[in-house]
Amino acid sequence: QVQLVQSGAEVKKPGASVKVSCKASAYIFDTYGISWLRQAPGQGLEWMGWITDYNGNINYAQKFQGRVTMTTDTSTSTAYMELRNLRSDDTAVYYCARDLEKYYGSASGVAFHIWGQGTMVRVSS
Amino acid sequence: QSVLTQPPSASGTPGQRVTISCSGSSSKFDFGSKFVYWYQQLPGTAPKLLMYRHNQRPSGVPDRFSGSKSGTSASLAISGLRPEDEADYYCAIWDDSLSEWVFGGGTQLTVL
């Protein structure tokens, strides 16, 4: 069945970078976009950005512009999210989520349908 | 401070109908031009898409769940409440001014 499997938990020091992977299976990877979202402990959901191989578009939330990079590797059906210059308030569970529908060219109008299991990233000195 | 406001909690007894609201944080926020999406997050799990474009259910979501919107707010209704509906519920819209997705703060639903 369609699924997204994320990399394991990470512990990082302030100022470091983290790169989370999201491996897709059982569908044609470059026909659907993938969003990255996060959830701080006890808090709500926060959208970080979206990437698609369909037309190469990437949308980043303003809050993360300049600090996040989203990439894909179509050969391995894997999406990556790198967050740099980590701070303690970046401690959160990070999720990848696939679009509900194919061939969207921008993040507006997508629905976050298939979710990864989440990756806990803890930032602590 | 999210642009979307949800009640922090809601509750109901099995079999009841409950509604969860989602409203814009400013009077100039117009839901009329925006699609609203709803997500359910069971304790300790990843969120699940419950409703898209106001009232469309993905495959597998029971018709006990329904969505609606008016000019300044949207609502998720759950009829025939079940214990397994106990979860956090989030609304989301695409904010054109920010060019990004924004979420409500979430509503924790308790089934009494």
Provide the pLDDT for residue B25.
73
Chain B, 46 to 85: residues with Cβ < 8 Å from chain A are 46-49, 52-53, 58
Is B72:B24 a contact under the CB 8 Å cutoff? yes
Cα of A28 to nearest chain B Cα, Å: 19
Mean predicted confidence (pLDDT) in B1-15: 91
Q: Model confidence at B1, in pLDDT bands (50, 70, 90)?
A: low
User: Residue type for B24, please?
Assistant: G
Name the residue among A61, A100, A115 with its Cβ closest to that of B47: A115
Q: How many CB atoms lie within 10 A of CB B91?
A: 31
Instruction: Name the pairing type of β-strands A18-25 and A10-12.
Output: unpaired
User: Residue type for B96, please?
Assistant: D
Residue A61 DSSP symbol = -
Residues of A in contact with B99 (CB under 8 A): 59, 62, 107-108
Tokens for A110? 């997508």
Cα of A62 to nearest chain B Cα, Å: 7
User: Residue type for A105, please?
Assistant: G
pLDDT digits (tens, 9 = 90+) for B19-57: 999 998 766 566 777 899 999 999 999 999 999 998 999
Name the residue among A45, A61, A100 with its Cβ closest to that of B90: A45
Q: Extract the runs of DSSP E, i.e. beta strands, from A1-125.
A: 3-6, 10-12, 18-25, 34-39, 45-51, 58-60, 68-73, 78-83, 92-99, 112-115, 119-123
Checking phi first, is residue B36 left (phi over 0); if not, alpha (psi -120 to 50) or beta? beta
Provide the pLDDT for residue B17.
97
Is B79:B66 a contact under the CB 8 Å cutoff? yes
